[in-house]
Amino acid sequence: MAITITTADVKRKAMITTSDYDSSISALIAEMQPALEYSIADPYLAATLDEKLQATLKLGMLEIIAGEFLEQLRREVGASEQFGVAGLSMGSANQTGIELVQQGATRLAPYLKSVLPMISENSPATTSNGETVFSLEEEVW
């Protein structure tokens, strides 16, 4: 794996201060990171000298993993229980990881393998002088 995401990174992003979930976080990283890296186009992963690109990819992956971890925490028994007395509500914070997952997915979107074929399919051919060439099968508005 070209990008390294640690348990400490996920805990920091998810604002977890205890080590109670370290093994769960490690397992989640091991499960999700290879799949996330596989979805990123190889030229971007291979550009290891581009520190800003690598930081962007790492942040997107970190946000997705941390968001998924927060969602798993929310699904634990008793995690979302609340009670209220005289207008005072007690219970867990309404932390959700959905926004974090969406933020990471948006950050990684331009670098995904699924985008590359669409770029080449949607770009019309040009001649050497820059004029756009359309095939007979294409409909032009």
pLDDT in tens, 13-35: 999 999 999 999 999 999 999 99
**65's tokens:** 């993993």
Between vectors from CA 16 to CA 9 and to CA 1, what angle results, nearest 5°? 25
Q: Where are the domains positioned within the chain?
A: 7-77+95-114
68-127 pLDDT, tens digit each: 999 998 876 555 555 566 666 655 555 578 999 999 999 999 999 987 655 545 555 555
